[in-house]
Amino acid sequence: MRLRISQLAVRLAHGEGDVLKAVCQRLRCKKEQLDHLEIIRRSLDARRKDKEPRYILSVEIDYSGKPPKLQPNQIEETPEPEPPLVFSGAEKGAHPPVVVGAGPAGLMAALTLAEAGLEPLLVERGAETGIRSEQVEAFWKSGKLDAESNVLYGEGGAGLFSDGKLTARSKDRARIRRFFETLVACGASPDILADSAPHIGSDDLTRIIPALRNRIRALGGTCAFNSKLENIQIESGALRGVVVAGQEIRTEACFLATGHSARDIYSMLAGHQVALEAKPFAVGVRLEIPQHRIDTAQYGRWAKYPTLGRSSFRLTRKEEGNARRCHSFCMCPGGVVISCASSEGLLTTNGMSLSARDKPFGNAAFLVPVDLADFTAVGHQAENPVLAGIEFQKQMERAAFEAGGCDYGLPAARLLDFLEGKTGELPAGRSCARAVPAVLQNILPGFVSGTLQSAIPNMLRELNGAKLEEAVLYAAETRSSAPVRMLRGPTGESDTLKGLHPCGEGSGHAGGIVSSALDGMKAAERFIFA
């Protein structure tokens, strides 16, 4: 019989023999009764700072012998795998479906449609990965911006230049597995299938994403880059086509996966009275501290153990007094802070790690929630009240651009200077060379800077050994999530426009690489099986 054994604790320096020994102890059996060991889940337990961290494993294994006593979450019969969805043989329409945007949602929507034999057209306003990477490097070195192909637009989406974290709150294990297996087939490490906190560095993503694009093409799909969606065509309340790079393309199905930075798409949809609503989001700063402080805080005296890798953190602070709640987000161990822009004169920031996570600093966003009521003061400046959150973001991004020297350098301050509301010399040792000393309170809304001044010192004290004088802040982190939601019905289509299928982060219904990919997959599946 095939068993799943969970909560197996093994030492850091373990091999297959150690795992088998732990299984034998749990089942009270001999090693000869076991075969075909597979580790299906691996997490690190470093909670006890006085004891060596341990790996906690879930394994599946063939067992021959007296049936063991089954225990929930300890010893269980391996569940029958869910039958794979069969997409082939879907009925083709008069015109191929169009997928707009080649981020996680768009790529997985296009792949799913292609697997069904529907020969989708995938269009992306930015360049393919290789060319885009060169454009981004030029932007970071000299501030030369291509407004259509940059850190935020292009093949791979904004997530191409990030830490590539594959975390997800979704319980949709079947689709998560399918997505991860697709990434592995395209060159990702098989470790992502078992690790509890899997990630793919940006250097690996630049190899994986083109392989995924080639799979779409091999299945009959077509990919067009440097091809911007300019408009949609509507007849009798239904989508009948799109205008891409000046060309009219007939289609009855458009999967809109344009990401939350494609602000012109929101404006275009609002002009067609497509149902949108404003939604809360969060803004703040990107904070950087030496990575060895994080490792020591999390791993204690085992911080330099070779197999542990770089540690991360997740910090929160509750609302108190006049300070709102605050949380860390998108932590990049051993990474760098990067400058991002998709429009002239507007600047935001993010973090990025390579697969080795071997840079000397770790960084994370520290964010403060922005509620709908906060848009009131800027709502009259927006072209549409639903888009007021975008105008709220733009105000910070304009101020950041100016404070950074008007050449896309990042405004930055030591944490201690930020706490005193002043500017000062930046440390020579930092990840972002093109950073400019600035008073960050001149960039952030008062409730944001006030909350961060109150919350950050207390949050960092939870990282035992982290020193406030070593922390550097970069402003402003404005695009952690979409400020607009595209309203969808039960079929996944727009509430007001048949044939339009919003998906991914830009739709306001997903956040992060995995949830966006799953949203794109589900949008395509609903269409296939409709």
- For the chain, domains (ranges, CATH) are 2-77 (3.30.70.2700), 98-278+483-528 (3.50.50.60), 281-373+388-477 (no CATH)
CA distances from 348 to 149, 279, 485 (A): 16, 20, 21
CA distances from 153 to 48, 109, 232, 330 (A): 43, 18, 20, 19
In sign, the C-alpha dihedral spanning 143, 205, 175, 226 is positive
Look at residues 147, 158, 125, 123 and name the one whose alpha carbon lies nearest to residue 226.
125
Contact 61, 23 (CB under 8 A): yes
Identify the bridge partners of residue 365 per DSSP, sorted by sequence position: 286, 329
> Count of H helices and E strands in the chain?
12, 23
Alpha-carbon distance of 170 to 177, in angstroms, equals 12
**Cβ-based neighbours of 108, under 8 Å, separated by 6 or more:** 179, 182, 517, 518, 520, 521, 524
Kindly give the parts of the chain with pLDDT less than 70.
377-382
Alpha-carbon distance of 79 to 3, in angstroms, equals 9
What is the percent of the chain where pLDDT is above 90? 88
Contact 10, 20 (CB under 8 A): no
pLDDT at residue 119, rounded to an integer:
96
pTM of the model: 0.95
Query: From the CB of residue 330, how many other CB atoms can be counted at a distance below 10 Å?
Result: 19
pLDDT at residue 377, rounded to an integer:
65
DSSP string, 292-317: HHHHHHHHGGGTT-TTT-------EE
Identify the bridge partners of residue 60 per DSSP, sorted by sequence position: 4, 38
Look at residues 174, 173, 152 and name the one whose alpha carbon lies nearest to residue 161.
152
Residues 370-374: contacts with CB under 8 Å, at least 24 apart:
370/280, 370/281, 370/282, 370/283, 370/448, 371/280, 372/278, 372/279, 372/280, 374/445, 374/447
Contact 388, 278 (CB under 8 A): yes
Alpha-carbon distance of 351 to 330, in angstroms, equals 8
Between helix 173-185 and helix 104-115 the angle, nearest 10°, is 90
pLDDT at residue 168, rounded to an integer:
78
> Which phi-psi region, left, alpha or beta, contains residue 363 (left: φ > 0; alpha: ψ -120 to 50)?
beta
Identify the bridge partners of residue 135 per DSSP, sorted by sequence position: none
**Cβ-based neighbours of 521, under 8 Å, separated by 6 or more:** 108, 109, 112, 175, 178, 179
Identify the bridge partners of residue 255 per DSSP, sorted by sequence position: 99, 501
pLDDT at residue 374, rounded to an integer:
92
Greatest alpha-carbon pair distance for the chain in Å reads 74
Residues listed for the chain: 530
451, containing H or E segment: helix 446-460
Reported as a single tens digit per residue, the pLDDT across 448-463 is 999 999 999 999 999 9
Alpha-carbon distance of 335 to 35, in angstroms, equals 40
CA distances from 124 to 101, 162, 192, 214, 516 (A): 5, 19, 27, 15, 16
* Terminal Cα distance for the chain, rounded: 39
pLDDT at residue 88, rounded to an integer:
72
Reported as a single tens digit per residue, the pLDDT across 5-52 is 999 999 999 999 999 999 999 999 999 999 999 999 999 999 888 889
Contact 350, 335 (CB under 8 A): no
DSSP string, 85-148: P--TTPPP-SS--EEE--SHHHHHHHHHHHHTT--PEEE-SS--HHHHHHHHHHHHHH----TT
